[in-house]
Chain A
């Protein structure tokens, strides 16, 4: 028998204490959305079912007890920590869902300088962890733009990536061990060892699960020595993205590992004011970091490669350094964005994909071309461009950016008229060319129509995980896995 909303709340209060169960109407409304629906949120329109409660979890045992209860009663749960999700992962699409908020599990458990490890609960803000580490001369090397806002649990759950990824890797390269709770209440710990050959790497069942398989309660990541004094910025203006991708590839294939390797097209560059020093040009930039020998050699090697290309014109590196140092989003930027959206009915979104070197330029060109030619509301677009910000030996990512004026539609119609439609064209072109439809935000709830196409025959494995770990389907329904 399904429990009523009131009964769910009562049971939750009995498990965790009444002060930890939030049922305030406004809080519940805000917890039914994430940034995918930021336009609706800003105008106070909530069309998604409102959750029954938000539970502020105190510790792993509470996570286990609450999940067991939800599982036994087939009640949908939505895991949440920092709340910066961009792809609908936090939307409570099932009536009477329960939001499991781990933001108060916020203890930095240990910084282990010998083994170079940092262990933190899921609700630790990455910015705070970084500040603590930097005081001691270390860094995680993880620096997503949302660093001041996002928490360790969410960062691992989405397979996030930071701005220094070309050197340090993405979160999956950083996580050493984990603690996670499965829907039946089972608490599992994966120990911290440098490497092992003991069956498949089970960390990857947890990393990137977006709350659809288990709840992450604790994370251990590697730490590195921090040498900001050796950072060296380099930048060039160039005519087109094709050459830019070629240079990025050469840098990677030659074995250089700058922490930052980015390529902006002219449109995207304009919104960062790059047109003030490179009008109508693409901008290619790098940051070399690490110990002084490595940083210097990296910078010199990269400069040697780029300077072979006549079309590249050097840019004052201080411009890039200044820009880069102001790239992160804290609460003040979120507030400013909200004001801009409200006042000017103007909004921007992104779709991030990836592809091997042999198809990345095709993805870039075809997606932009298709939007320009087929998108029916192209007249409302104020920006359509992209950049690559994470490169690998084998390929790179593309971060498509599109801004538009919201015209002649109600707040709740915005996503269908603009966001979903634009996102779809990019995803389709990416898959067609052989790339991956999501690079680092997670599938969330809006790219699930393509989950099966993305994985092809390997969807069998992905589906097996859901069947095994969440047979009752109570873990973030509609996320990663399409609702059948």
Chain B
């Protein structure tokens, strides 16, 4: 079975302080001095699929895993890492660097879906949200363009009895939904409790991965010229920092017991019931 996991590399926002959020005239924030990391949902997706592939390999056909990102050369290091941990193909779709794709999930989804159509994967897994634009739309758009069913907030996926199905666990309204779904499909990964972290390659795996080739594909090769990458339906007007709204209420009451009772009645009761 051919599986693709789409991932994004972002700056480690935990390492940015409030004062670092300054943007230039094109509304880009300089994050060049901060390390880059896998977007957390994508990291879960990548690990979940590695686990799934081991299960599938144990029973049936060969599994071919592709890790796919739309990025510049900085993505290569991460692709090499993925080759080391077990991805068979590491693909980077490169576009004109000057284009602002942060708020353009439509274009990203076109690039992804065209690649998938070309390569014939049966399962596409993506994280539910990328830290940078926080668009939360790419997965749905990919599914629409491929015309495949799509499950959101997936927390795990495992082998099903039938080889052309998978068992998918997802969150819905506070409950966990377990479904057996026929391939092809798009899965949008949410918070995975089982696989929050990507495994680390062994020394030997790293060495072997060095010999492997990355695949670089341009938007032109996928049939989208530079003009098609422009964000025509949206214009970024402004960016501004949100002031965290904090307020404070002093609970009145003569004794701690009275205050605790007020806290319970006015603030907790409703939430706990």
CA distance A176 to B106 in the complex (A): 65
A382/B35 in contact, CB under 8 A: no
- CB-based nearest B residue for A273: B35
A316/B33 in contact, CB under 8 A: yes
CA distance A321 to B17 in the complex (A): 13
- CB-based nearest B residue for A385: B203
> Quick check: which of A10-18, A23-31, A241-249, A339-347 contacts chain B, the rest being far away?
A339-347
Which residue of the partner chain, among B15, B35, B36, B203, contacts A381 with CB atoms under 8 Å? Answer: B203
CA distance A339 to B192 in the complex (A): 13
Nearest CB in chain B: distance from A343 CB, A:
6
B35/A276 in contact, CB under 8 A: yes
A22: CB under 8 A from chain B? no
CA distance A323 to B34 in the complex (A): 8
Given contacts A276-B74, A339-B196, A343-B197, contact A322 B202 (CB under 8 A): no
B15/A326 in contact, CB under 8 A: yes
A318 to chain B: which residues have CB within 8 Å? 32-33
A382/B201 in contact, CB under 8 A: yes
Nearest CB in chain B: distance from A327 CB, A:
11
Nearest CB in chain A: distance from B269 CB, A:
30
B34 to chain A: which residues have CB within 8 Å? 322
- CB-based nearest B residue for A384: B203
CA distance A92 to B199 in the complex (A): 34
CA distance A325 to B15 in the complex (A): 8
Interface string of B195-213 (1 = CB under 8 A from A): 1110111111000000000
A421 to chain B: which residues have CB within 8 Å? none
**Total contacts A-B at CB 8 Å:** 55
CA distance A339 to B40 in the complex (A): 15
B77: CB under 8 A from chain A? yes
- CB-based nearest B residue for A318: B33
B199/A344 in contact, CB under 8 A: yes
- CB-based nearest B residue for A346: B200
Which residue of the partner chain, among A340, A379, A405, contacts B197 with CB atoms under 8 Å? Answer: A340
Nearest CB in chain B: distance from A220 CB, A:
34
B35 to chain A: which residues have CB within 8 Å? 272-273, 276, 319, 322-323
A113: CB under 8 A from chain B? no
- CB-based nearest A residue for B204: A379
Given contacts A276-B74, A279-B77, contact A379 B195 (CB under 8 A): no
B194/A343 in contact, CB under 8 A: yes
Interface string of A116-141 (1 = CB under 8 A from B): 00000000000000000000000000
Nearest CB in chain A: distance from B30 CB, A:
9
A414: CB under 8 A from chain B? no
Nearest CB in chain B: distance from A372 CB, A:
8
User: For chain A, which range describes its interface: under 10, 10 to 19, 20 to 34, or 35 or more residues?
Assistant: 20 to 34
Interface string of A275-288 (1 = CB under 8 A from B): 11001000000000
CA distance A226 to B206 in the complex (A): 43
Nearest CB in chain B: distance from A425 CB, A:
15
CA distance A239 to B134 in the complex (A): 39
Given contacts A273-B36, A326-B15, contact A344 B203 (CB under 8 A): no
- CB-based nearest B residue for A405: B202
CA distance A318 to B33 in the complex (A): 6
- CB-based nearest B residue for A339: B196
A403: CB under 8 A from chain B? yes
CA distance A175 to B202 in the complex (A): 43
A383 to chain B: which residues have CB within 8 Å? 200, 203
B77/A381 in contact, CB under 8 A: no
- CB-based nearest A residue for B14: A326
Given contacts A276-B36, A276-B77, A322-B33, contact A378 B200 (CB under 8 A): no
B36/A379 in contact, CB under 8 A: no
Interface string of B30-58 (1 = CB under 8 A from A): 00111111000000000000000000000
Chain A stretch 390-410: residues in CB contact (< 8 A) with chain B: 403, 405
A380: CB under 8 A from chain B? yes
B199 to chain A: which residues have CB within 8 Å? 344, 346, 405
| B interface list, Cβ under 8 A from A | 14-15, 32-37, 74, 77, 194-197, 199-204
* Residue contacts A-B, CB under 8 angstroms, 7 given: A318-B32, A322-B33, A326-B15, A343-B197, A381-B202, A384-B203, A405-B199
